Amino acid sequence: YLMEKIKFGKNDFNKNLFDINNIFYITCEKYWDGGYEPSAAMNEKADFYRIANQFANIIKEIVSATDDTLIIGSEISEKGCLFESWKDLRNYDAYNNLYGLINKKCSYMLNLPDDSNIVDYIVENNFRYFSCIDFYLPKSKAVLQPTCHTELFIYSKNYDLLLPIVKNILQDYQGFYLKKYISE
């Protein structure tokens, strides 16, 4: 992996992005809350990973189409932590694969396509509620947030530039939709 540690602090990121009232998100016809159950049948797991893979590909396509980079780190996470603290997390290979790569006190710039697997690991872990890592696109001033509800929230103060790109990408993903989320 080429994921490189970078100096990134509170002043490099505008936390106000998370305060936007009318945000957008990408959802699909399938919905899991925290991933699949440990007793899930193989076809259920395969379906989960097919959907997670499509979401990871959408993120990579957004980065490519905007000619941007991805930055991850605790300063960017809306929750303020990168990993959840369930008692049995170390029993899951998905968690171990990602946890071993990321120092919780560091920020990283992901270099695509070399760090494609890191994006995949993050989407899988976020969807399974093992991690809560957000992706920051510095040029676009946007955050892409895969959630444990099998959705990808998009926080941006530049929706007029970003949404046409996202809509164009989603044309290739049957059953995936861009929706407006109105906070209460």
One DSSP character per residue, 11-48 reads GGS-GGGGG-SEEEEEEES---SSS--TT--HHHHHHH
pLDDT at 1: 63
Can you tell me the distance from the alpha carbon of 10 to that of 71, in angstroms, rounded to the nearest whole number? 13
> What is the residue-level pLDDT of the chain in tens, covering all 184 positions?
678 999 887 777 888 888 888 899 999 977 778 888 889 999 999 999 999 999 999 999 999 999 999 999 988 989 878 998 888 888 888 888 888 889 888 999 999 999 999 999 999 999 999 999 999 999 999 999 999 999 999 999 889 999 999 999 999 999 999 999 876 6
pLDDT at 180: 94
pTM of the model: 0.93
